Amino acid sequence: MSIWVRIGDFITSVATNAISAVIEAVRTVFEGDVKTRRQVAFSIAMIALSAKMAKADGIVTQDEIRAFRDIFEVPPEEEAHVARLYDLAKQDVAGFEGYAHKLANLCSDGQPDCHLLEDILDGLFHIAKADGHVHEKELEFLARVAEIFGFDEEKFEQIAMRHIEQGQDDPYRVLGLRRGVSLADARSRYRALVKEHHPDRLIAEGLPPEFIAIANRRLAAINAAWARIEKNLEAA
């Protein structure tokens, strides 16, 4: 069953106009089905947080809406449910921290090696950069969400480097490597990252197949960084 059908059924059953209440209801409604709970919670998180972030710099641009739809391939019959959630969330920026904390529990139910929170940040970065620039307010929003999700500054920078240049364009920082690393150690790190972020593995953890574009873009960024590092080290 498509994740959108599940979300549609879920939204119909939850009579509320508060996005935080919708997120709170996910754990109860899908109790006993961890994978579905993660898929639904992840999807709602992407809808709600992307709407909040798009509003963070004071305006929701057409580029951001197109980027949103680039990630969300929503069937026409389910668009009304998604639009309802998006409209609820984009009313203002206030309130995102509360349900970001709730979403931080996505990976706390028996699966410590879980990447859904990183998937959410990658998706948000994709939307933030859609108009050609990640604005200061958007970056502050993303950094705060990352902090709530438990990522330290180094990890946030590693994620950010896959999407935007922060000073020097450095592929080593994309892979979390120090300059001076050996070719063997760099290759080992690269292979570990490819295995860790392979789309099939992420789907098994709970990433809805409808959002696989996020995982594919991340893997492409990792591959591109490795290609530059490998060329540099082999020439040394």
What does the pLDDT look like over 72-86, one tens digit per residue? 677 787 778 777 777
Share of the chain above pLDDT 90, in %: 16
| Mean pLDDT rounded to a whole number for the chain | 79
pLDDT of residue 138: 87
pLDDT of residue 50: 79
Distant-in-sequence, close-in-space partners of 6: CB < 8 Å, separation ≥ 6: 36, 39, 40
Q: Is the pLDDT of residue 10 over 50?
A: yes
pLDDT in tens, 166-223: 545 688 988 989 888 999 999 999 999 999 888 888 777 777 776 777 888 889 989 9
Average pLDDT of the residues in 102-122: 71
Distant-in-sequence, close-in-space partners of 11: CB < 8 Å, separation ≥ 6: 22, 81, 84, 85
Kindly state the tokens that stand for 146.
């990352």
pTM: 0.76
Distant-in-sequence, close-in-space partners of 130: CB < 8 Å, separation ≥ 6: 61, 63, 64, 66, 67
pLDDT of residue 167: 47
Kindly list the distances between the CA atom of residue 203 and the CA atoms of 28, 29, 40, 121, 194, in Å, as whole numbers in the listed order. 22, 21, 13, 16, 14
Q: Which residue has the higher pLDDT, 136 or 106?
A: 136
Q: DSSP letters along 119-136, please? A: HHHHHHHHHHGGGS---H
Kindly state the tokens that stand for 140.
């502050």
